[in-house]
Structure 1
């Protein structure tokens, strides 16, 4: 196909394979847009995003506006005279003038099978909900939140071993394989955009640290999915009776039962509302991760005791 003049808009690791695929396909990436550099890591040093770094390594100019809502930013975008903009986990809302500027519009690489899991955290929400599959949707963007017509979709299975990290990498690679053929079909007029069905819409709300609190009154299957879905971000945890916040890095379903939250054995198996979950890898503050048995050897917690401090239900004064 004739190479397209395109703008790429993305920020995290998820977007990098798609940008690499577009370069490999021979398209002219005239500019990359990414979130501004921000403090990150233990030292809180200001760092460029993965897309920003990758684009610069390949000689692509990078822009990092804080907003695209002002006329100056919109004029600068229009002056690029792009055939199409490809968007993958960019993180900024695209106003209508931006959507309208490229000849073929703006195309999004979205990490779910739309209309299921529109929004910010589709990878984690699909695992957390116990979905059997998810995938990538290549979508023609409109002004709504992931509401645009679909150009192509491909599914992947979610297995009992699927984690947020493994699914992230699988979907990032799948999006990279799908984006160039989708652009070819769009440019040639051979790929028709299909409106999303009105039924089956769900929203993948942005994750917060509180989402990672483990609730032993949930079924064990849910707690196990929670650990797979929310590691490494926002991370799963519980507050022990001594006040320490214990991170849970890996868990598995286990046999047994009892009062939710009770320690059932010396391998750190905890009773849930339905069944039990074994905490395979945990981490105390300032310590290295260890397995459940090693954790208990260094922690004053006996079988039959609750592993967590009671959750405060006191009302907060206005």
Structure 2
């Protein structure tokens, strides 16, 4: 097919790679405009922009698709379909209607659960037993379009936002290729029941509440790992917890129960396995303790 690809972050690059490998003609890639990044705050192209340009694909980075001129430029590509993955801009009706077969989206959840901006993080933080990918034909509503293909993926006690991101990026890429290979793409309406919204992650949510159960604390930590990173203060230092496990122990919430980073929660306890001090890199627990020992009985502030 002749396709236009619309995406911005690393998550989207996997689908673009798969479409190229499957032999599709990528007429153009759309991505968010370059943003200031790094110490010098120089403008940096998005991962999709950088990858597409390296493949010799034309890249467009409009700040909006609302103008008639921008919509006419899009329609002039005369594509069979648009593939949209974490693009970051709403598609107006004329854009949705321009490709011959419509616009198809890779969404990292089992729709209609977790429509919106942060489905990967919200699924883990809420203690869901599974996540997955939905390929849908897009319409004007927020992630409301009919479903063309769904694939489930388990969430385990060791799943983090990063690991689930990587697994679903690869799964979504394969699924989109399968959908476009069908002689006729059929889609079914989403169920009316079970709708939830995955609001954008706010950094104010990152502080860990150790009065919650050990399972809830673990889900909070893993759902925000590695970014923005769930944290709590210890010895006047902010510690980001990146990986942990639930253990059978108890004590006053926020108290370290041994010298090996076991900390009591509202019910049960967790053992920190990977963490990060302010101004330092992420470390495994044993390496962390060599430079920042935390003794039994220490209280998290």
Q: Could you say whether these structures have the same fold, taking a TM-score greater than 0.5 normalized by the shorter chain as the test? A: yes
* TM-superposition CA deviations, 1:91-141 (whole Å, max 9, x none): 111111111111111100111111111111111111111212111111000
- 1:250 maps onto 2:247 in alignment: no
- 1:36 maps onto 2:43 in alignment: no
Query: Aligned to 2:226, what secondary structure does the other structure show?
Result: coil
Q: Which residue of 1 aligns with 2:209?
A: 215
Q: Which residue of 2 aligns with 1:315?
A: none
CA change 1:151–1:289 in 2 (3 A) is closer
How far the C-alpha of 1:298 sits from its partner, in A, is 5.4
Q: Which residue of 2 aligns with 1:200?
A: 194
Assess if the C-alpha contact under 8 Å between 1:226 and 1:236 holds in 2: yes
How far the C-alpha of 1:57 sits from its partner, in A, is 1.3
* TM-superposition CA deviations, 1:44-94 (whole Å, max 9, x none): 332111111111111110000111112221111111111110000111111
Provide the alpha-carbon RMSD of the alignment: 1.8
How far the C-alpha of 1:234 sits from its partner, in A, is 1.3
Q: Which residue of 2 aligns with 1:133?
A: 130
Write the distance in 1 (CA, Å) between the matches of 2:8 and 2:282: 30
Query: Aligned to 1:8, what secondary structure does the other structure show?
Result: strand
How far the C-alpha of 1:300 sits from its partner, in A, is 8.1
* 2:299 corresponds to which of 282, 301, 306: 306
Write the distance in 2 (CA, Å) between the matches of 1:42 and 1:221: 37
Count of residues paired in the alignment: 301
Write the distance in 1 (CA, Å) between the matches of 2:290 and 2:216: 27
Q: Which residue of 1 aligns with 2:168?
A: 171
* 1:13 corresponds to which of 6, 10, 20: 10
TM-score (structure 2 length as normaliser): 0.94
Write the distance in 2 (CA, Å) between the matches of 1:5 and 1:238: 50
* 1:232 corresponds to which of 202, 226, 231: 226
* 1:160 corresponds to which of 138, 157, 160: 157
TM-score (structure 1 length as normaliser): 0.89
Gaps of 5+ in 1: 309-318
Misfit runs of 4+, over 6 Å: none
How far the C-alpha of 1:173 sits from its partner, in A, is 0.9
Of 48-57 and 255-264, the range deviating more from structure 2: 255-264
* TM-superposition CA deviations, 1:184-243 (whole Å, max 9, x none): 32xx33x3210000001111111121222111011111111222221111111112352x
* TM-superposition CA deviations, 1:133-185 (whole Å, max 9, x none): 11111100000110000011111111222221111111111111111221232
Query: Aligned to 1:126, what secondary structure does the other structure show?
Result: helix
Assess if the C-alpha contact under 8 Å between 1:6 and 1:83 holds in 2: yes
Write the distance in 2 (CA, Å) between the matches of 1:32 and 1:293: 45
Write the distance in 2 (CA, Å) between the matches of 1:298 and 1:16: 38
- 1:259 maps onto 2:256 in alignment: no
Query: Aligned to 1:94, what secondary structure does the other structure show?
Result: coil
How far the C-alpha of 1:297 sits from its partner, in A, is 6.3
Write the distance in 1 (CA, Å) between the matches of 2:170 and 2:232: 34
Write the distance in 2 (CA, Å) between the matches of 1:53 and 1:300: 42
Write the distance in 1 (CA, Å) between the matches of 2:175 and 2:281: 40
Assess if the C-alpha contact under 8 Å between 2:261 and 2:294 holds in 1: no
Where in structure 2 are the equivalents of 1:248-287 lying within 5 Å? 248-287=241-280
How far the C-alpha of 1:287 sits from its partner, in A, is 2.9
CA change 1:107–1:161 in 2 (3 A) is same
CA change 1:103–1:153 in 2 (3 A) is same
Assess if the C-alpha contact under 8 Å between 2:249 and 2:269 holds in 1: yes
* 1:27 corresponds to which of 2, 24, 34: 24
